[in-house]
């Protein structure tokens, strides 16, 4: 009887651990890198929108969006946006209703880092709390440590801007609403995200369907 109890307990623990693991990471479908509108049309239609429907984005759209932002597009690990000295220092966090996730381009997953809904903390505008996703761009300054402070500031800002524009163009191609935001209480958001001292919040970007 004791052996049976131990077996049942171990099985239950293993099952619970498996379920928890599934909650902490979302395996995204492979990005669809075909189709979409022509580049010149996307540039023509690129715009900022500040009114969002709360409808969630399908996982395929999330996968395509994050790949367009800063996914891997070559076998050598290079990305869809350039980065100075190939630092690849910009990290993409995605705040959603069911938690905060970190995009892992290598595994094409969204890894949960918080279960809390912190969308409201990603900006001072009222729409951020209801939009389906708020992207937070964070620079891992430990990857830039060999550069001067001036170069770190310049290049991380440039690298982040390139990713932001990729998102704008993808949204123009797919008919999504999008706005990049610098109005952030960075101290409060840094605390809410449990960021390390060498991580620096750069910008936020809200994406969703237009209202």
Each residue's pLDDT tens digit, 100-118: 999 999 999 999 999 999 9
Q: Residue 22 above 60 pLDDT? A: no
Average pLDDT rounded to a whole number, residues 18-36? 78
Q: What is the pLDDT of residue 23?
A: 58
For 72-109, letters b (16+ CB in 10 Å) and e give bbeeeeebbbebbeebbbbbbbbbbeebbbbbebeebb
Distance CA 171, CA 209 (A): 9
Q: Above pLDDT 70, what percent of the chain?
A: 89
Average pLDDT rounded to a whole number, residues 23-51? 94
Q: Residue 25 above 60 pLDDT? A: yes
Q: Residue 190 above 90 pLDDT? A: yes
Average pLDDT rounded to a whole number, residues 165-169? 98
> Which domains does the chain carry?
26-208 (3.40.109.10)
Q: Residue 132 above 70 pLDDT? A: yes
The 3-state secondary structure of 68-98, one letter per residue: HHHCECCCCCCECCCCHHHCCCEEEEEEECC
Q: How far is CA 139 from the centre of its chain?
A: 12
Average pLDDT rounded to a whole number, residues 164-179? 98
Q: Residue 207 above 60 pLDDT? A: yes
Distance CA 72, CA 36 (A): 18
Q: Residue 9 above 50 pLDDT? A: no
Q: What is the pLDDT of residue 163?
A: 98
Distance CA 4, CA 98 (A): 37
What are the pLDDT digits (tens) for 42-66?
A: 999 999 999 999 999 999 999 999 9
């Amino acid at each position: 009887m004791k052996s049976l109890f131990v077996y049942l307990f171990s099985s239950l623990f293993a099952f619970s651990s498996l379920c928890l693991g599934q909650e902490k990471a979302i395996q995204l479908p492979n990005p669809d890198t075909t189709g979409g509108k022509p580049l010149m049309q996307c540039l023509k239609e690129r715009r900022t929108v500040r009114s969002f429907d709360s409808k969630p984005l399908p996982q395929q759209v999330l996968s395509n969006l994050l790949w367009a932002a800063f996914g891997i597009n070559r076998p050598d690990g290079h990305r869809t946006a350039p980065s100075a000295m190939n630092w690849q220092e910009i990290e993409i966090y995605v705040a959603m209703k069911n938690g905060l996730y970190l995009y892992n381009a290598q595994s094409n997953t969204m890894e949960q880092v918080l279960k809390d809904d912190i969308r409201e903390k990603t900006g001072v505008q009222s729409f951020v709390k209801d939009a389906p996703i708020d992207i937070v761009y964070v620079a891992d300054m430990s990857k830039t440590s060999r550069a001067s402070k001036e170069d770190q500031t310049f290049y991380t800002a440039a690298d982040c801007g390139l990713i932001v524009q990729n998102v704008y163009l993808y949204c123009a191609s797919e008919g999504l609403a999008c706005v990049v935001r610098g109005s952030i209480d960075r101290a409060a958001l840094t605390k809410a995200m449990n960021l390390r001292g060498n991580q620096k919040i750069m910008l936020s970007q809200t994406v969703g369907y237009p209202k």
